[in-house]
Amino acid sequence: MIRAAWVTHVGAVALALAGVGCCKKSPDPAQPAPPATTTLEPPAQPPSAEQVSDLLTQLPRCDVFHRGAFLDLGSAFDQGRTSYSLTTTGADATAVERGGASWAQVWSRTFSQTFHTDHPSPVFVAGRMLGLAARRATVRIDGRVYGTLSLNRTTAEVSSTKASAEPLEAGAHTLTIQFHGSAHGRQAFAEIDWLRVGEPDEDPTTFAPPSERDIVVDSVVAGRPRRSVALRAPGMVRCAVAAREGMIFQSDIGYLGPGSGKAEVRVTEPGQSPVVVHAAEIGGEKEQSSQASVSLDSYAGKLVLLELVATRSSAGARVLFGEPTLAMRPALPPPRTPAKAAILVVMSKADKAHLPPYSEVPALAALTSLAQSSVVFRQHRAVTTVSSAAMASSLSGLAPESHGLIDPASRLPAAITTVAGLASEGRVSSAMFTANPTSFEAFGFGRGWDRFEMFSPVSGLEGRSPMTDGTRWLEARLQESGQQRMLAVLHTRGGHPPWTTSADEARNLPPADYSGPVEARRAGQVLARARGKRPKWRMTPADRERLEALFALALVSEDQALGALVSSLRKAGVWDSTLLIVTSDLALGGPARVPFADAERLDEDLLDLPLIVHFPGGRYGGKAVQSPTSALDLVPTLLGALGLQTPPRLAGTDLYDIAAHPERHVLRPQYATIGREYAVRFGNVVLRGESPKTPVLCDLALGANCPGTTPPTLAVLAHALWRQTFAWYRATNIDKIGSLREPATLDPDTVSALTVWGSQENR
């Protein structure tokens, strides 16, 4: 795969960029007409706005169309196109410079590029190539042969197949070039400048490839020098955008060359007809230009396709979109009360179905009361289904691909800085108390804390021990030094077995006269036997009813300990200067699965988590926030509350900022991964895949189950989100997984703890 240099930090803004589109200059009457467009006049905008994103830097994740789909090889525009693999080996092709242009030097006999079309049309394939070991190449689209290209070994030439007799259907496609020839020694098969999947038209002019250096130019627009997107008609750049309230598209539109032209800015919702939000006649003798300022408020909370279109231009001329940007109206930073204590409570396997305020659970009085004075985040999502990796992300602010703890048998590398180390650098006293063996010292969690305590499930101690001992530690620190800032992380047992239940309590649990194997002490081990392709026993409805009862009873104990923690902070007079975060590492999962497993598939019932945050001073108390959040946001929130600076390498966002301005954080991508499997959520759609297989885009509004293929109406969006996902994983150093990963060395006590926990079979 080509090694492309990124031109932007992908985590900086909530943009998913991609797409293609085209308008034929002289459409074939035998072909279906392009979708009709409607015109919408943009409302007046305020005179100033705060820049969010320069679209010129985002172009590598957009798609370019000019008389067909255009693929610029060896450049940044090539990222995420060679295959659906998340890794880059460099074995397929390498980027080279030839005559000031970027080329792909291809080392493998077959070379693929992904593209998509949004309407059926006959197509041909053309490309500018230089033959090295290969003399010719067979062209296939989705496995079907479309023709053969001849290669010259001395001069780069443009070669083309004939147009297909049958139209290529709308949707995502894979173009494959198979080279023929013998590579002697270390010799590449060919070098490719660009490829084009063209649509037959009546345009007599020579095709001018819209390569990276051709469409990004410096020119004068509206009397001022501008860095611009330059397009020949019919041409289009299409980018997918996560529209937010207050977002504005801005650009000065001009013309370069003889004659005059017409430009349009369109917005398309997937499956809908394009809407023209700005149109302008430009150029001519008076050198007309136009200033576009388009509000995206009516699309807020949606993934849309933003299209910059040159609908008409004279031969040799180009339409200019000068300095296109997506901007936001200014927002004042909210006032903040500094925190004396920052506390993160992570309840193991506690999910929304069992916790207030997501569900009505009168028995959990402390959580019910806490939620009323806190911010409830309703779209919180896990980053993995490996419990130790989820906790590592909560403490490092890094995705599993970046911190290296990627499976149940690995540990958090010593080179990874956690919130404990950052607190120490900031002179904040810190402690971690854990009753979950997946976050024990053997998995790398003991480093950097002033105090680190483990409560093994073998010991028979109550699951609430981290909460009670954490409360004592906070009380002691307050007595020792009233001015010392404190950080406490409490990884409690939550609803996970083994459970601490008295004989009387067990007798009163439903179902009556239960005699099955699910009991408080050994439930974890028993449930482990019910998993796998050949389980040793299967759960009955009575087993599940008893499990639910034990689970709920364990949460009551945790809730009581949480209430005691809050009461202690109130008594000490520091509650109003406390940040308290209550969340879970993973969800319990739906009723169809055997609960408490580790490293399962990335299903939404395991990834959907609770998140309740009490900010110092009770700021935004009682507010429910629908903006997406993840474990990557926890470290910036803890550091921000304590007055410490967040390292720039972290991609998360302070939850305080999200609570203050939730409209600015809608449709943030939520990445989840385990191994080569990924599930990336953008609002109500999820891109699911396993590298290097073709991913599927699922619309959760239609149900939790994904179809085997992406619906045609979502094909353009799926292609856009795949390229966004590819860019994200490139930025999170997925190629370094092998070198980052450190195997965990398990001592006998940890092995015993994991055995009772019911997860030793995963290691």
For residue 88, name the pLDDT band (cuts at 50, 70, 90). Answer: low
Q: Is residue 314 part of a domain?
A: yes
Within this chain, do residues 449 and 572 fall inside the same structural domain, yes or no? yes
Adjacent-strand bridge partners of 306: 239, 267
Amino acid at 671: Y
Within this chain, do residues 609 and 756 fall inside the same structural domain, yes or no? yes
Amino acid at 738: G
First CA to last CA distance, the chain? 33
Alpha helices in 12-93 (DSSP H): 55-58
Based on C-alpha coordinates, what's the Rg of the chain?
29
Within this chain, do residues 259 and 363 fall inside the same structural domain, yes or no? no
CB-based contact 66:349 (threshold 8 Å): no
Q: What digits encode the pLDDT tens for the residues 116-162?
A: 887 899 999 999 999 999 999 999 999 999 999 999 999 999 999 99
Residue 46 clears pLDDT 50, i.e. is over it = no
Most confident of 202-206, 390-394, 715-719: 390-394
Tell me how far apart the alpha carbons of residues 690 and 274 are, in angstroms, rounded to a whole number: 32
Within this chain, do residues 555 and 436 fall inside the same structural domain, yes or no? yes
Residue 24 clears pLDDT 70, i.e. is over it = no
Within this chain, do residues 172 and 240 fall inside the same structural domain, yes or no? no
Tell me how far apart the alpha carbons of residues 686 and 367 are, in angstroms, rounded to a whole number: 30
Tell me how far apart the alpha carbons of residues 33 and 186 are, in angstroms, rounded to a whole number: 49
**pLDDT at position 741, please?**
87
**pLDDT at position 3, please?**
32
Give the β-pairing of 677-682 and 670-674. antiparallel
- Name the strand (E) or helix (H) holding 197: strand 190-198
> Quick one: three-class SS letters along 263-331?
EEEEEECCCCCCEEEEEEEEECCCCECEEEEEECHHHCCCEEEEEEEEEECCCCCEEEEEEEEEEECCC
Q: Is residue 313 part of a domain?
A: yes
Q: Is residue 106 part of a domain?
A: yes
Percent of the chain whose pLDDT exceeds 70: 91
Question: Which among 11, 63, 52, 8 has a CA at the least distance from the CA of 248?
Answer: 52
What six digits make up the tokens of 164? 């297909």
Within this chain, do residues 245 and 351 fall inside the same structural domain, yes or no? no
Residue 462 clears pLDDT 90, i.e. is over it = no
Within this chain, do residues 390 and 433 fall inside the same structural domain, yes or no? yes
**pLDDT at position 80, please?**
80
Domain endpoint, select from 198, 221, 239 = 198
187 torsion bin: left (phi>0), alpha (psi -120 to 50), beta (else): beta
Q: What digits encode the pLDDT tens for the residues 654-679?
A: 999 999 999 889 889 999 999 889 99
Domain count, the chain: 3
Which segments within 87-231 are labelled E, that is strand?
93-98, 101-106, 110-117, 124-131, 134-141, 144-150, 157-160, 171-181, 190-198, 216-221, 224-231
Q: How many CB atoms lie within 10 A of CB 73?
A: 29
Tell me how far apart the alpha carbons of residues 688 and 672 are, in angstroms, rounded to a whole number: 10
DSSP letter assigned to residue 738: H
Q: Is residue 264 part of a domain?
A: yes
Tell me how far apart the alpha carbons of residues 174 and 114 are, in angstroms, rounded to a whole number: 4
Q: Is residue 59 part of a domain?
A: no
Q: Is residue 709 part of a domain?
A: no
pTM for the predicted model, two decimal places:
0.87
CB-based contact 504:553 (threshold 8 Å): no
**pLDDT at position 50, please?**
59
What six digits make up the tokens of 539? 């759960």
Q: What digits encode the pLDDT tens for the residues 516-542?
A: 999 999 999 999 999 877 888 899 999
CB-based contact 79:60 (threshold 8 Å): yes
DSSP letter assigned to residue 216: E
Residue 14 clears pLDDT 50, i.e. is over it = no
Domain endpoint, select from 198, 220, 239 = 198
CATH code (residue 744): 3.40.720.10
Q: Is the dihedral of CA 73, 686, 582, 643 positive or negative?
A: positive
**pLDDT at position 535, please?**
86
Question: Which among 88, 125, 122, 116 has a CA at the least distance from the CA of 174?
Answer: 116
Tell me how far apart the alpha carbons of residues 52 and 328 are, in angstroms, rounded to a whole number: 6
Domain that holds residue 419: 342-675+733-762
The residue to which tokens 């998995």 are assigned = 443
What six digits make up the tokens of 702? 């239609």
Residue 258 clears pLDDT 80, i.e. is over it = yes
For residue 470, name the pLDDT band (cuts at 50, 70, 90). Answer: very high
DSSP letter assigned to residue 48: -
Within this chain, do residues 308 and 255 fall inside the same structural domain, yes or no? yes
**pLDDT at position 23, please?**
36
Q: How many CB atoms lie within 10 A of CB 515?
A: 7
Question: Which among 731, 716, 756 has a CA at the least distance from the CA of 306?
Answer: 716
Q: Which residue has the higher pLDDT, 396 or 115?
A: 396
What six digits make up the tokens of 340? 């004396």
Cis peptide before 357 (omega within 30 of 0): yes
Domain endpoint, select from 299, 328, 357 = 328
Tell me how far apart the alpha carbons of residues 709 and 356 are, in angstroms, rounded to a whole number: 37
Residues belonging to the chain: 763
Tell me how far apart the alpha carbons of residues 276 and 236 are, in angstroms, rounded to a whole number: 13
Cα→Cα distances 347→149, 344, 498, 511, Å: 61, 10, 14, 26
Give the β-pairing of 629-630 and 380-381. parallel
Tell me how far apart the alpha carbons of residues 80 and 101 are, in angstroms, rounded to a whole number: 20
Mean pLDDT of the chain: 88
**pLDDT at position 616, please?**
97
Within this chain, do residues 284 and 406 fall inside the same structural domain, yes or no? no
The residue to which tokens 């030439």 are assigned = 157
Residue 456 clears pLDDT 60, i.e. is over it = yes
87 torsion bin: left (phi>0), alpha (psi -120 to 50), beta (else): beta
CATH code (residue 298): 2.60.120.200
**pLDDT at position 401, please?**
87
Q: Is residue 38 part of a domain?
A: no
Residue 18 clears pLDDT 70, i.e. is over it = no
Cis peptide before 711 (omega within 30 of 0): no
Q: Is residue 110 part of a domain?
A: yes
CB-based contact 57:15 (threshold 8 Å): no
Within this chain, do residues 365 and 244 fall inside the same structural domain, yes or no? no
Angle at CA 53, nearest 5°, toward 51 and 59?
150
CA atoms within 13 A on the CB side of 695: 35
Kindly write down the DSSP assignment for every residue of 488-528, as one continuous string: EEEEE-TTPSS----HHHHHTSSSTT--SS--TTTHHHHHH
Within this chain, do residues 262 and 128 fall inside the same structural domain, yes or no? no
Amino acid at 289: S
Q: What is the mean pLDDT of residues 312-337?
A: 89
Residue 35 clears pLDDT 50, i.e. is over it = no
Q: What is the mean pLDDT of residues 557-573?
A: 97
Within this chain, do residues 324 and 362 fall inside the same structural domain, yes or no? no
